[in-house]
Each structure stands twice: as C-alpha cells, then as structure tokens.
Amino acid sequence: MENKMIFAGLAVLLISLASVPASFVYGEAELDTYIVFLQKPEGLSTLADGDLESWYSTFLPDTTLASSSSTTRLVHTYRNVVTGFAAKLTKGEVKAMEKKDGFISAQREKMYSLHTTRTPAFLGLQLNNGLWNGSNNGKGVIIGVLDTGVTPNHPSFNDLHMPSPPAKWRGKCQLPKCNKKLIGARNLVGDTYATDDEGHGTHTSSTAAGSPVQASAFGQASGVAYGMAPLAHIAMYKVCSEEGCPGGSILAGIDAAVADGVDVLSLSLGGASSRFPEDPIAVGAFGAIQKGVFVSCSAGNAGPASASSANEAPWILTVGASTIDRKIKATVLLGNKAGYDGQSLFQDKKFRHRLLPLVYAGANGRAASRFCAPGSLNKSVKGKIVLCERGGEIARIGKGQEVKDNGGAAMILMNDQPNGFDTLADAHVLPASHVGFVAGEAIKAYLNSTKSPKATILFSGTIFGNPNAPQVASFSSRGPSLASPGILKPDIIGPGVNILAAWSVSVDNITNPPFNMISGTSMSCPHLSGIAALLKNAHPDWSPAAIKSAMMTTTYLSNLGRTKPILNEQLQPANLFDMGAGHVNPVLAADPGLVYDLQPNDYIPYLCGLGYKDSEISGLIQRKAHCGNVTIPEAQLNYPSFSIRLGSTPLTYSRTVTNVGRANSVYVAKVVLPRGVNVKVHPERIVFNRLKQKATFTVTFTSKGFSAETYSQGFLYWLTKGYVVRSPIAVISA
Ligand SMILES: *[C@@H]1O[C@H](CO)[C@@H](O)[C@H](O)[C@H]1NC(C)=O
Ligand SMILES: *[C@@H]1O[C@H](CO)[C@@H](O)[C@H](O)[C@H]1NC(C)=O
Ligand SMILES: *[C@@H]1O[C@H](CO)[C@@H](O)[C@H](O)[C@H]1NC(C)=O
Ligand SMILES: *[C@@H]1O[C@H](CO)[C@@H](O)[C@H](O)[C@H]1NC(C)=O
Ligand SMILES: *[C@@H]1O[C@H](CO)[C@@H](O)[C@H](O)[C@H]1NC(C)=O
C-alpha cells in the first residue's frame, strides 16, 4: 500500500498488510504467537528473574507432546515494563490458561508497520549557541530506537567527541562492534546481529542523534548532516524484519530498553487504532513512563483521512509530519509552453532537455495502467514521457521502474485529489517529476487538446526558502483519536518530508557514505525524540509529561515568514486534527514558563473513565487497580491540549499548571473562542511566588449554538512577560 511505502522511499520493504503472521500447524491445532499479560500474585512482587520465569512456565502447556518443550514455545519473556510473555500456543491452550490465577488477557500477536540536513537550522538549532549550547547537545542522554536495525560503520555513528556511556547503562552489543555513539544494539526478531538490511533504522537513529558528517544524495541537499541531539548516545532495538514488526518483539524491545537504561524511546512504527490494554506499544510505553522514560512515536502515514492516527495513548508523544523549506526541483514543461514545478531527488544530468512524446499511462482505461502497476505497461511507451497517477497501492518509485522497464524516457507522477499539492523528492530510477493534482489535471487536459502532445523535464536541483513551509504533509495521519476521543491527537508536527539522513547502501551507487532522502512520520518522530533528549539534558528533573507539555505549549502555528497560518496539502489552513498543538519550536520548548505535568498514577482514573476493566488496568500499571469511584472523563486528564465533545450541557474541566519559568510571576488567561462556544476560565489570573509552585484553574465550555457546527477550534493562553503558554481547543459536537 502506498501509504506504507512513503516512509521507505524504496520498494524493498513490502510490509504484510495481514494482521496475523503465518501460523504453524502443531499436531491437529494451529500454533499462533500470543502476547499473554499477567498480574503477579500478591506477595510475589519482587520475584527474582529465575522465579519469574518458572512462574511464567506454569502457564505454558504440558510438554508431553512430541519433542516440543516449553522453552521453544516461549518467544519472549517480559520483566520490566509489563508482566507476561509471548509464546506459540493453540486456541485451546490459551483457553485453558484463562482459568489460572494471575491471568489477565492473551492477545494474538499483530504485525505493526514502519511509518527520513537541513532540519537543525530549520528548527533554530545552532552550533555553540541557544538550545544546543544550553543542553550540551544532549550529551549523555540515551535514545533507544526501535526499528529495522542499524548500519554500525556509517560515519553518522562515529564517536568523535562522544563521552563514554553513563554508568547506569546495562545494554548489550549485538553488532560486530559498538562505540561511544552507538552504545548498544539488540536483535528481537532473530539471533543474528542487529544490522539494518533496509535503511529505515539507520535513517531514524541518525536523525535523532547522528554525529556531524558531510552528506548528500544524487549530489542534492549537500551539507553537514547532524542529528537533533548530536552528543546523545544511540541504542538500537531491532524489532522489524522484512515481514514487518511483530507486536511481541516491539514489547520485548521496550522491555529490554527500559532495563538497559535508555532515557528516550523512539518508535517510528505502529498499527491500527486499538484499545490501550491490547496494544503492545501503549502497554510498553506505560511501563516506560513509569520509569521516567520519554516515549515518542510516529502518528502514521494514513492521512489525509480523518481519524487515522496510530499510537494514541496520552502518555505517548504522537508526532505528525510537516515539510521543510527545501525542494529538489524538477519542472515539467509541456509543448504548449506551460510549466509545472514538481520534485525528484534523482536529477538526471544526462537527460536532454528536448520535447519528447507524452502519453497518459491510463489511456487504455485500465486502472492498473493508470497507476503504472508492475506489468501494466508495454513497449508502446518506449522513448516517451509517461504520465502515471499516485495510488493504487503501488510505491511511487515502483511506478517509475515499470516505465523504465518498458523503455520509457521519463515519468511524470501526478497526485490524486486527496494528496493535493504535496510533492516528494524520491530516489526515482529514471528522470521523473512528482507534481500535484491540479498540475496533473492540467497535463491531462493538454494531452486531450492536441494530437501530438510533448513534454520535457527541467532539473534545477536543491532550492531553499519555500515560503509555505512548514506545511502539514498529506500522508500525515490525522485526529480525532478513535481510542480516546477526549485527547487531542496527533500531539504535534515536526519535519518529515524530504529528510536526508544516513542509509545502509548508496542510493546512487556513487555517494559514500550513503544517505537517502525519504518522507514519513517515521522521519518526524526521531526529530522529536532527539529534541526530547536535548530537553532531558537541559532539565534532568522534568517528567516525560512535563517535557511533552513544554513542546506542545510553545509551538508555532504560522509559516516561516509568519505571514500565513500553517497550511495543509490542499493549501487550506491546517486544523488541530491535522497538526495537534502545532509545529515544534525546540528553542522555546526549553523555557516554556508553565507545564501541565502528570505522574503515572494520574492516568489511572482516566483509564477507569475509558471503561477498561480493573484487571486490564492492573496489567498496564503492574499492580492491583480498583476503579470504583475513582474515575474521570478523558478531557479531565491534565493534558496540555483540549479535545471537547460538546452538547447542550456545559462542561467544566480543571487543569493544574506548574511554574517552571520565573519564581515571581503573574499569569493572565486569554481565550481565542471557538466559533459557537463560550469558554470561561476561573480564576483568570494566577500569581506565583516560587518555582515548582502549582496552581489549579477550571475551564467551562458552553454551547452558543454550537450544535449546528461539527467542528470548531480555539486557544487558551496563559500570558506573562516573556512567556506565552498556549493550549489548543478542538470542539466537536457530542
Ligand atoms: C552557553 O552555555 C553556557 C553554560 O550554560 C553559558 O554560560 C553561555 O552563555 C552559553 N553561550 C551561548 C552563546 O549561549
Ligand atoms: C500496448 O499498450 C497500448 C496502450 O495501452 C495499447 O494500445 C496496445 O494495444 C498495447 N500493445 C500490446 C501488444 O498489448
Ligand atoms: C480527456 O478526455 C477524456 C476522453 O474524452 C475525458 O474522459 C477526460 O475527462 C478528459 N480529461 C480532461 C482533464 O479534460
Ligand atoms: C546502481 O547499481 C544497480 C546495480 O548495478 C543498478 O541496478 C542501479 O540502476 C544503479 N542505480 C543508479 C542510480 O545508477
Ligand atoms: C469512594 O467512595 C467511598 C464511599 O463513598 C469513599 O469513602 C471514598 O473516599 C471514595 N474514594 C475516592 C478515591 O474518592
């Protein structure tokens, strides 16, 4: 599916869309991998590792059958973020297990899918200055990346100027060699080294914390590539293979990372929306935040469809993707002299700029041909420029391969309507230009208007200063959240389009070390993970929720020139379900004034309010939970944003802010009202006289004829001299 391919740029990683991996036949019954969540019996809360394993083994079936012993049935044992294991079981064996004391639930393992330098400068990070200086470039912070593995000898992982790993580090090195940058690696999908056969994990980890190195691809975007936290350490947890990312391996990766001592977890992968107690990422992440580990996840590449966000749990930072101000320009020029700007990373120097015959791949009326699917074209395209359409679950680069295989001279790749004006600079295999939907329609109209249509492509290379940047990427997954509509998701957007970072093999067969330019929320997530590492160094006492709040209340909502609001792929103003709180501004995030803090226990009444069973919540928090009367509505969670479902009854929620700015300060509330809604804040003025002081206020939402509207948005500001603390308010009708 094309969305799944956006991140990869290359068609090599065909992730299975099936939610269940292949089953094995065991005797008469099928064996599947199940993740089994348990609760330790009272009094056994401090089981030693060996005792824990023997207790787990009592849940496994008797192994009198054949030669299969319980140890070969066991796939992963979890110790740190959750109690339980993953094992190969039959349905009947799972049923039998349900009766045993301590059993919570068993989920059939699902497959999750993976969701790429100019970005430091674009984000206002400068050498020896500002936040990079104030955070020591993230020195000493450990970022655990769950991905496809890593390319250990890549210069982005050189350890020049790196300190030794902190004393708390207890990780392993399943690589030929680790160093002070790449301090550890584990393979949770096999027994071999955690090396990267794909490129994705090399890209994401170098984006988060790569060392500075001269970079380019196809001669484009050249410059020194830096990770967001250039002095942070990287630990790789390989949880994805060519088949995808098994949920049990993801949970095993989080479990190991937390025990190893990582400070930040970065997951550029996810699945469909699901109930938190059944989602290994949500469950693992909760265990992580209980140990003070910050968790940043990609929102997914299923946009622009509404309600498409993955990784929706409120203890996770859910990151959408936006553009930066760099294009790799490839202009389509038609026989009628009309020109349309598009993009391609592959800029063919040898391509002769003369008009060639132009054909529409879908002229035969077949959908497969329209999308330039493999095998859908024939030699009639030889020597011609072929117009292909985006979509049809065919990777963009794969479409060019089909044109090339049939002798086509070049490809114009046009968007479908939902992808609008968004174009991407891919490593195409032939001269190509990716143009927007409107341009594509104009090219089609030209094809209709003349007997001998002609076109060419002009390559003008790397262009900076796109005034519309940042813009929400069409593929970036959108809210509202399905799993928890009372929490606004995604939380934030950051750079995720045309990101140049380290790669495992040279994409042009020339450039070494290898770099690739790819796009996806997979690329925006590690930007935020690296920024979290900077904030963690600058503020070692901040909780994961405080770091998240600081990022979310200090975003910007306008383009670079501050002339227009942030736009979406249709060049319309982006709404809060497109971009959450807005675009990350690392420099301001380091000094937010106030934070909306949360401790792990604060999520319990929220989880109760979502209607989860006591046993499910016990599994999440790893001790007994009793909801009883201790429940709150979702929107009452002390979150830095508001997602409100409003009917005719007014709703009141409270929030508590913590002063992390100036000891003596007076903040005043200001509200930008959502249309059709009245918002009252009480009190409207808060006086602080010391740091870490907390203050609670209420916000009341009342409909003023809102029922006629389906969506409306506004903002709550707390203002004092030098600080602007902004919370977005999204209102939908109840
Ligand atoms: C860099 O950080 C140090 C220590 O916090 C500070 O004294 C210095 O003023 C900072 N320099 C710049 C240019 O920000
Ligand atoms: C090749 O494709 C063209 C355009 O779709 C079509 O008109 C032609 O019949 C095809 N030729 C063969 C041999 O299939
Ligand atoms: C081109 O012509 C075809 C066939 O007459 C028609 O279906 C299509 O809508 C036209 N496309 C445009 C963009 O004018
Ligand atoms: C790189 O080399 C491979 C294998 O020889 C070849 O298939 C591919 O077309 C080359 N790519 C480029 C961009 O030259
Ligand atoms: C729950 O209700 C009981 C009985 O009304 C009360 O004693 C108890 O304090 C309540 N617990 C909480 C946490 O509100």
Q: For the chain, how big is the Rg over CA atoms in Å?
A: 26
Ligand 1 contact, 126 CB (< 6 A): no
Closest residue by Cα to atom 14, ligand 1, is 129
Ligand 2 — pocket residues by CB below 6 A? 363-364, 378, 380
> Binning pLDDT at 50, 70 and 90, where does residue 69 land?
low
The SS3 of residue 492 is: strand
Distance between CA atoms of residues 360 and 355, nearest Å:
16
The SS3 of residue 537 is: helix
Residue environment code for 579-598, b if the CB has 16+ CB neighbours within 10 A, otherwise e: bbbbbbbbbbbbbbbbbbbb
Pick the closest to residue 221 from 561, 508, 631, 605 (CA basis): 508
Distance between CA atoms of residues 155 and 699, nearest Å:
51
Catalytic residue status for 434: no
Q: For the domain made up of 113-324+469-590, give the CATH fold.
A: Rossmann fold (3.40.50)
State the distance from the centre of ligand 4 to the C-alpha of 429, rounded, in angstroms: 8
Catalytic residue status for 643: no
Over the chain, what is the mean pLDDT? 91
Ligand 5 contact, 630 CB (< 6 A): yes
Mutate to test the pocket of ligand 2, among 359, 360, 364 (most ligand atoms within 8 A of CB): 364
Q: Give me the residue label for tokens 């050189």.
A: 158
Pick the closest to residue 183 from 197, 194, 196, 198 (CA basis): 194
Distance between CA atoms of residues 603 and 630, nearest Å:
11
Question: How high is the pLDDT of residue 123?
Answer: 79
Q: Are residues 581 and 555 in contact, defined by beta-carbon separation less than 8 angstroms?
A: yes
Closest residue by Cα to atom 4, ligand 4, is 509
Contact residues for 499 (Cβ-Cβ < 8 A; gap 6+): 116, 117, 119, 203, 207, 324, 517, 518, 519, 523
Distance between CA atoms of residues 522 and 477, nearest Å:
11
Q: Residue 63 pLDDT more than 60? A: no
State the distance from the centre of ligand 2 to the C-alpha of 423, rounded, in angstroms: 30
**What average pLDDT score do residues 520-534 get?**
97
Closest residue by Cα to atom 11, ligand 4, is 508
**What average pLDDT score do residues 294-303 get?**
96
Closest residue by Cα to atom 3, ligand 4, is 509
Q: Residue 66 pLDDT more than 50? A: no
Closest ligand 3 atom to residue 442 Cα is 13
Question: How high is the pLDDT of residue 9?
Answer: 29
Contact residues for 505 (Cβ-Cβ < 8 A; gap 6+): 199, 514
**What average pLDDT score do residues 714-728 get?**
98
Distance between CA atoms of residues 131 and 379, nearest Å:
56
**What average pLDDT score do residues 535-551 get?**
98
Question: How high is the pLDDT of residue 116?
Answer: 45
Catalytic residue status for 255: no
State the distance from the centre of ligand 1 to the C-alpha of 209, rounded, in angstroms: 21
Please name the amino acid found at residue 284: G
State the distance from the centre of ligand 5 to the C-alpha of 613, rounded, in angstroms: 19
Pick the closest to residue 301 from 475, 152, 462 (CA basis): 475
Pick the closest to residue 590 from 562, 560, 549, 626 (CA basis): 549
The stretches of 21-145 forming alpha helices (DSSP H) are 49-57, 70-73, 91-97, 119-122, 130-134
Closest ligand to Cα 381 = 2
Closest residue by Cα to atom 3, ligand 5, is 629
Closest ligand 1 atom to residue 128 Cα is 13
Question: How high is the pLDDT of residue 437?
Answer: 98
Please name the amino acid found at residue 707: S
Ligand 4 contact, 508 CB (< 6 A): yes
Question: How high is the pLDDT of residue 22?
Answer: 36
Question: How high is the pLDDT of residue 321?
Answer: 97
Tens digit of pLDDT for each residue in 133-146?
888 999 999 999 99
Q: Burial, 296: exposed, middle or buried (Cβ in 10 Å; 0-12, 13-18, 19+)?
A: buried
Closest ligand 2 atom to residue 378 Cα is 1
Closest ligand 3 atom to residue 441 Cα is 13
Q: Residue 457 pLDDT more than 50? A: yes
Q: What percent of the chain has pLDDT over 70?
A: 93
Structure tokens that stand for 239 in this block: 């949880």
Ligand 4 contact, 563 CB (< 6 A): no
Question: How high is the pLDDT of residue 412?
Answer: 98
**What average pLDDT score do residues 267-280 get?**
95
Q: Give me the residue label for tokens 């299969």.
A: 68
> Binning pLDDT at 50, 70 and 90, where does residue 71 land?
low
Got the DSSP string for 596-625?
A: ----GGGHHHHHHHTT--HHHHHHHHTS--
Structure tokens that stand for 588 in this block: 């301001």
Question: How high is the pLDDT of residue 45?
Answer: 61
Closest residue by Cα to atom 5, ligand 3, is 448
**What average pLDDT score do residues 544-566 get?**
94
Ligand 1 contact, 133 CB (< 6 A): yes
**Pairing mode, if any, of strands 685-688 and 84-89?**
unpaired
> Binning pLDDT at 50, 70 and 90, where does residue 511 land?
confident
Question: How high is the pLDDT of residue 128?
Answer: 78
C-alpha 176: how far from its chain's center? Answer: 29
State the distance from the centre of ligand 5 to the C-alpha of 631, rounded, in angstroms: 11
- What is the pTM (predicted TM-score) of this model? 0.91
Closest ligand 1 atom to residue 130 Cα is 14
Q: What is the CATH number of domain 638-733?
A: 2.60.40.2310
**What average pLDDT score do residues 49-76 get?**
74
Lowest-confidence segment of 50-54, 207-211, 367-371, 470-474 by average pLDDT: 50-54
Q: Are residues 417 and 472 in contact, defined by beta-carbon separation less than 8 angstroms?
A: no
Distance between CA atoms of residues 540 and 533, nearest Å:
10
Q: Residue 25 pLDDT more than 60? A: no
Q: Are residues 634 and 485 in contact, defined by beta-carbon separation less than 8 angstroms?
A: yes
Element (H, E) at 515: strand 515-518
Mutate to test the pocket of ligand 4, among 401, 503, 509, 515 (most ligand atoms within 8 A of CB): 509
- Helix, strand, coil share of the chain (percent; to 5): 25, 30, 45
Closest ligand to Cα 453 = 3
State the distance from the centre of ligand 4 to the C-alpha of 509, rounded, in angstroms: 6
**What average pLDDT score do residues 346-367 get?**
92
> Which residue is catalytic, options 147, 255, 426, 578?
147
> Which residue is catalytic, options 135, 211, 433, 522?
522
Q: Give me the residue label for tokens 């002798």.
A: 407
Q: Residue 359 pLDDT more than 80? A: yes
Distance between CA atoms of residues 518 and 73, nearest Å:
38
Closest ligand 4 atom to residue 509 Cα is 1
Distance between CA atoms of residues 592 and 719, nearest Å:
11
> At the top level of CATH, which class does the domain 23-109 belong to?
alpha beta
State the distance from the centre of ligand 5 to the C-alpha of 630, rounded, in angstroms: 8
Got the DSSP string for 643-670?
A: EEEE-SS-EEEEEEEEE-S-SSEEEEEE
Does the domain spanning 327-464 belong to CATH 3.40.366.10? no
Closest ligand to Cα 217 = 4
Q: Residue 651 pLDDT more than 90? A: yes
Please name the amino acid found at residue 337: K
Closest residue by Cα to atom 10, ligand 5, is 629
Q: What residue segments make up the domains of the chain, in order of their start?
A: 23-109, 113-324+469-590, 327-464, 599-634, 638-733
Closest residue by Cα to atom 7, ligand 5, is 629
Pick the closest to residue 416 from 403, 399, 429, 431 (CA basis): 399
Q: Residue 13 pLDDT more than 90? A: no
Strand locations in 73-172, DSSP E?
74-78, 84-89, 103-108, 111-114, 142-147
**What average pLDDT score do residues 449-477 get?**
94
> Which residue is catalytic, options 200, 428, 527, 583?
200
The stretches of 230-350 forming alpha helices (DSSP H) are 247-260, 280-290
Q: What percent of the chain has pLDDT over 90?
A: 80
Ligand 3 — pocket residues by CB below 6 A? 441, 444-445, 448
Closest residue by Cα to atom 12, ligand 2, is 378
Closest residue by Cα to atom 11, ligand 1, is 129
Ligand 5 contact, 601 CB (< 6 A): no
Closest ligand 4 atom to residue 508 Cα is 13
State the distance from the centre of ligand 5 to the C-alpha of 282, rounded, in angstroms: 29
Q: Cβ–Cβ contacts within 10 Å for residue 382, how many?
A: 11
Closest ligand 2 atom to residue 366 Cα is 5
Alpha carbon separation from 615 to 22, 37, 81, 626, 633 (Å, rounded): 30, 10, 16, 9, 20
Question: How high is the pLDDT of residue 118?
Answer: 64
State the distance from the centre of ligand 4 to the C-alpha of 507, rounded, in angstroms: 8
Mutate to test the pocket of ligand 1, among 125, 133, 135, 587 (most ligand atoms within 8 A of CB): 133
Closest ligand to Cα 506 = 4
Question: How high is the pLDDT of residue 364?
Answer: 95
Handedness of CA 61, 62, 66, 70 (dihedral sign): positive
Tens digit of pLDDT for each residue in 306-353?
999 999 999 999 999 999 999 999 999 999 999 999 999 999 888 887
Closest ligand to Cα 446 = 3
Closest ligand 5 atom to residue 629 Cα is 1
State the distance from the centre of ligand 4 to the C-alpha of 485, rounded, in angstroms: 47
C-alpha 143: how far from its chain's center? Answer: 15
State the distance from the centre of ligand 4 to the C-alpha of 510, rounded, in angstroms: 10
